[in-house]
Chain A
Amino acid sequence: GCFVFKPSAKKKKKTLDLESYFTDGCEDARSSELRFELCQDLWDQIKTETEILQDELNRKVLDSLLEFTKKCSSIRHHSDWTSQMRASEIPTAALILGVNVTDHDMTFQSLSELLQTSVTPHVVSVQAKECGALKHLMKKVLERLMDTVVAVVDDDDDDEVEEETEQHHRSVHCSLTTLCDWYSKKTKKSSSGTPGKKRSSLVVNEQQEPPVVIIFKDLEAFNPRVLQDFILVCSRYVQRLPLMFIFGIATAPSTIQHMLPHSVSSLLCIELFQSLSCSQHLTTVIEKLILTHSFPFKLNGKVMQVLVGIFLYHDFSVKNFIKGLQLALLEHFYSQPLSVLCCRKEKALLNLKHLRHDDLERVRQLPSFRRFVEKQEIEEQEKLRTDDSHLKNVCQKLMKDLHKYHKCYYPILRCLHTLTSSLPRYPLGKQIRELHLNCLEKNVWEAEEYQSAVNLLKMLAKDELISLLQKCAEILQPIRSTQMKSACVQLEELLSKFQQLDAPATDQSTASEENFTSPVKNLPKKTDLFQLQKTLLESRRSRKKSPFEALRNEALDFIDTLVKSHLSPPESQPLYEVCYYSSSAAVRRHLNATPRTSIQAALSSPYHYLQNESLKSDDGTVSNSAPDICIAYKLHLECGRLINLYDWLEAYSTVVSAAEGTDPDSDGIGKVDEVKHARFIRAVAELEFLGFIKSTKQKTDHVARLTWGGC
């Protein structure tokens, strides 16, 4: 059942490279090459950035782990009394990782690299599926230990002969004793000092006796017996062999107690380490990758929602999220010819100059561009429709606007997030991604949540508001400085407002007590009279509003306008299609498919796929010209749990003969029946193959249904 095809040497042309697959589907080769390059660049960027992020996020945990290992290895030789007391205890680090198994590999990878560079050359990681029995586990550990050491030490430490023997260790000789001998040999060989000098100074000791670290990647999947035996055996050797375990735990630390009986877990000296929760992780990834203006490729609200939904409701895996992003990127660049403009501003403008006529036609076809055109003057419209060079100029302006829009959008989004994320009940969402989704979907200020958020903000106390505004200022400050030329003059205004705000706030703190007695006198000059009058008129309460409240309202109004001007969804921008990928259905189909639904849909309503007019029928009825398997399926839906084959066959042949239009009592019935019978058998076999029914022994000539529903 297994066939190998090898291309014959004669026919060996140059195999197509990756790029040509990309360009094959398109008619315009040059632009697609460009697009392909862009796509690759962006993808590489995503990859490197995520890896850097991973490392950063894991840094804390890994550093603490490193500390732990160093401490353990030093403690061993530090004082003989403690080491005797804990003679048979193995230091163990239990690493609590989340349930997102898919992301753990990277963590372990960086962990073992770190350990190898900084603490010890002997690091092994074992997976549960490699170790069904103790023998395998031992063998794997030893092989890898020897191998890693041989691989790491490229100096003159190892003789050639030794390497040979080590690599050809047969599993028969694999026992901890050999490991001990090997280890002592190694450490002795590499020890530069005399044996008498041993155990004199810590540093030398650490160099001489690096711990042997064994990483169990997935503790839950291990066979408890194997693990117990292994720990028992190791604890016997702990005197001669400085062992250390690191457990990767996906659920909770209580699993150690579940898996290991007390006698075994007492041999371990466990310390817990908590890794970052995955939703935080996702938030940082989204912040760095999606919520920046430097990264030109964007997702629209629906696609974001699909990806985040898969993350939150299915697997909690950041890796899969990145994969979805990759898919969206690929699809975007593959299907959208104008995606050539999806890059940095200078490059985009350059590419824009090289656009051809048909590309420009595509630009004219874009719905967002059409809306833009309709707003223009009549002559202008004509020009845009016909004159290519003019269109190019306009497009340049539009592209610049788009970039400006992005530059303003994200800082303001962050501002709004800092303001609203501290509110009770989180009207606009707790995480910035929720806010982002809200903004992408519709005009955020029309939503009820936004209104309630603003009302809540109006009730804020003074110091809270000031601190919040200061935070906003802090967010805006670096952005203003880092952006090459921020188009937002408003940022400056806002900043100056904030600075002013601090000054009167201090004045008012003293004045606020006198507010009841002397209303208007103590007002600082900075707030103008008109403003005050307005607030006075507004206030229906007997108590006068402090100027602080006026200012507060002003600030909020300002933020409000800011939001309105900058947080409008991208669909409002002309030419947004260039940067936004918006086919959420495709992403969902490819990432999170439902084969069962598709099969059932095809069986119950074949019209959906076959587009045959005669197959069109109301729901629940069987059109008799449908394929055999559909008829059989429909009939089997009408039965209970057990289906009598004979009745089924009868019903089937009735339907089919009606379809053929022959009178059931006519001649040739036998012949037809045989054909029908064969067809029926085939249909039933297919249903069995698909897993809808299975043969049963409970009754003769019956099959059991495996699915529910129907009737």
Chain B
Amino acid sequence: FNKWMLQLRLGFSVLVYGLGSKKALLEDFRVAHLSQEIHLVVNGFFPSITLKAILNSLTCEVLEHEGSFRTPSDQIQFIAQTLKGNPGLRVFLLIHNIDGQMLRGEKTQSALGQLASLPNLHLVASIDHINAPLVWDQFKQSQFNWLWWECVTFQHYAEETSYENSLLVQQTGALALSSLTHVLRSLTPNARGIFRLLVKFQLENKDNPSYTGLSFQDFYQRCREAFLVNSDLTLRTQLTEFRDHKLIRTRKGADGVEYLNVAVDANTLMDFLENEKDE
């Protein structure tokens, strides 16, 4: 770490690569060495991070400048001028995953490069993606002035992947049980009853290969009998809400009638019903 500090002060930027999460490592570095300095931590894996947020936090909080800028380039110029006029001020910028989803853009990287080329702003970053170096062309590389350090930690990417919608869930389009219960908890009792009706019907017919779903008319009848709805319209709005939450799927049958399906696999539905009973 001492070496890092030395290299940073001499105008290099430290870049950490390797397998495993480097977050803890950088955090250690931060606690050990940067506690005395002004520094900024950016989580590149955070899916809603933008360049604007980084620059704004730089200008507002670090430089304590009120006011907005029209374009990021103006902002960068302002930062550069302030730092040039203030050589004693040193800012350390820690970027976890500089190759993150939101920071991959060419504009963002060139802005960061401009920042990194400032003499009293020091950059420490980590990369994970195997093709991360493709982001930088020669000019940016020279701006960043990277020194590469290999750090293979084998730590799990807990925080980084928590934002990644795991493809196992996405792929099947299946909703996890937890999300299902969360959605239904926020609904009225009647709506929950409607959904439960539909689920029961689907589970009864789950071994029937020719089953295409429940037609809307049938479903309306059943709901009327269970005193869950009082008109065609209310049921339709209710179903629209379900559809928006991707809980049900409608399909036009061969006879032009709408068939309703719950878009969750049977096991999850079983679990769901059991949970409901427990409550």
Contacts and interface: CB of A to CB of B under 8 A. Distances in A.
A686 B129 CA distance: 10
Contact of B46 (A1, A327, A599): A1
A690 to B, nearest CB: 6
Contacts of B61: 4, 6
B128 to A, nearest CB: 6
Contact of A695 (B6, B7, B30, B171): B171
A47 B18 CA distance: 33
Given A2-B42, A330-B6, A645-B168, A602 B53 contact: no
Contacts, number: 181
B167 to A, nearest CB: 4
A493 B131 CA distance: 61
A7 interface: yes
Interface string B107-137: 0001000000000000000011111110001
Contacts of B90: 15
B148 interface: yes
Nearest to A702: B171
Interface in B213-231: none
B42 A1 contact: yes
Given A690-B129, A690-B130, A691-B129, A700 B150 contact: no
A700 B36 contact: no
B142 A317 contact: yes
B147 A688 contact: no
Given A1-B48, A685-B166, A11 B7 contact: no
**Most interface-central of A21, A22, A100 (chain B CB within 10 A):** A21
Interface residues of A, number: 67
Interface string B166-194: 11101110000000000000000000000
Interface string B130-170: 11110001110110010111101010110011001011101
Which of B17, B61, B167 has the most C-beta atoms of chain A within 10 angstroms of its own C-beta? B167
Interface in A611-635: 627, 629
A102 B20 CA distance: 32
B263 interface: no
Contact of A15 (B36, B62, B150, B164): B36
Contact of B130 (A16, A25, A707): A707
A326 B7 CA distance: 10
Contacts of A693: 167
A627 B154 contact: yes
A5 B39 contact: yes
Contacts of A688: 161, 164, 166-167
A673 interface: no
A596 B73 CA distance: 32
A23 to B, nearest CB: 9
A320 interface: yes
Contact of B172 (A315, A590, A701): A701
Given A21-B2, A327-B147, A334-B6, A602 B161 contact: no
Nearest to B132: A595
Among the interface residues B62, B132, B157, B160, which one has the most CB atoms of the partner chain A within 10 A? B157
B49 A1 contact: yes
B35 A7 contact: yes
A591 B257 CA distance: 67
B202 interface: no
A492 to B, nearest CB: 45
Interface string A308-344: 0000000101011001001100100010000000000
A593 interface: yes
A5 B39 CA distance: 5
B130 A701 contact: no
A693 B156 CA distance: 17
B142 A645 contact: no
B197 interface: no
Given A22-B6, A101-B138, A682-B156, A3 B41 contact: yes
Nearest to B106: A129
A606 interface: yes
Contacts of A24: 2
Interface string A686-711: 10111111010000111100010000
Contact of B171 (A3, A323, A700): A700
A689 B163 CA distance: 10
A94 interface: no
B40 interface: yes
B3 interface: yes
B40 A5 contact: yes
B54 A685 contact: no
A685 B164 contact: yes
Nearest to B46: A1
Nearest to B54: A2
A596 B40 contact: no
Interface string A439-457: 0000000000000000000
Q: Most chain-A Cβ atoms within 10 A of its Cβ — which of B49, B110, B131, B138?
A: B138
A12 interface: yes
Contacts of B17: 593, 595, 598-599
A18 interface: yes
A610 B155 CA distance: 11
Nearest to B19: A602
Nearest to B155: A627
A609 interface: yes
A375 B40 CA distance: 59
Nearest to A6: B38
A377 interface: no
A681 interface: yes
B261 interface: no
A416 interface: no
Contacts of B131: 596, 691
B9 interface: yes
A590 B37 contact: no
Contacts of A684: 166-168
Contacts of A596: 130-131
A603 interface: yes
A692 B131 CA distance: 10
A599 B164 CA distance: 20
Nearest to B138: A101
A295 B45 CA distance: 46
A13, A130, A590, A688 — which one has the most chain B CB atoms within 10 A of its CB? A590
B80 interface: no
B57 interface: yes
A315 B7 contact: no
B21 to A, nearest CB: 9
A296 B112 CA distance: 37
A13 B37 CA distance: 10
A599 B130 contact: yes
B83 interface: no
Nearest to B95: A2
A690 B138 contact: no
Interface in B1-33: 2-3, 5-7, 9-10, 12, 15, 17-20, 30
Nearest to B166: A685
A12 B36 contact: yes
A334 B5 CA distance: 13
A599 B172 contact: no
Contacts of B3: 21, 25, 334
A361 to B, nearest CB: 24
B271 to A, nearest CB: 12
A633 to B, nearest CB: 10
B57 A4 contact: yes
A591 B7 CA distance: 13
Interface centre among A12, A685, A703 (most CB of B within 10 A): A685
The 7 closest A-B pairs by CB, nearest first: A1-B46, A593-B148, A102-B142, A602-B19, A595-B17, A1-B49, A695-B167
Given A327-B147, A686-B156, 8 more contacts: A2-B49, A5-B41, A15-B37, A101-B137, A685-B157, A688-B164, A688-B167, A689-B128
17 contacts: A1-B46, A1-B53, A4-B61, A5-B34, A6-B62, A21-B3, A43-B10, A591-B148, A595-B17, A595-B127, A595-B133, A598-B152, A684-B167, A685-B164, A695-B171, A703-B171, A707-B130
